[in-house]
Amino acid sequence: MSSERRRERSQSSDEDYSEVEELKKRLKRLKRKSYRDKKKRSIRRRRCHYSSESSSSTASEITAHLVWSKITLVAAILSPKLQVIEESQKNV
């Protein structure tokens, strides 16, 4: 009687084990797929971003534009401060 129970338990544990292994495989496959999809989305997003700038822009043109916009931003921030400094030097 006990040997029958052991056999039943071992069969059920084997089934459970195989089911767990199958679930692990499915999870691994899903993770790989989600990683691939995320990569594709980010590449697509980058392409859309650069294509919206202008379709014929090269990387150097885009970089030049970004540098120029940063320079103008810094100049806009610093120009009032520079005027104050210049005026204070004139008064001295």
pTM, to two decimals: 0.32
Task: Give me the pLDDT at residue 1, please.
Answer: 53
pLDDT tens sequence across 16-66: 788 888 888 888 888 888 888 888 777 777 766 555 555 556 778 888 888
The DSSP 8-state label assigned to residue 54 in this structure reads: -
Radius of gyration of the chain from its Cα atoms, rounded to whole angstroms: 33
Residue 9 structure tokens? 């338990």
Task: Give me the pLDDT at residue 72, please.
Answer: 84
Task: Give me the pLDDT at residue 10, please.
Answer: 65
Geometric angle at alpha carbon 18, from 21 and 15, rounded to 5°: 150
Amino acid at 47: R
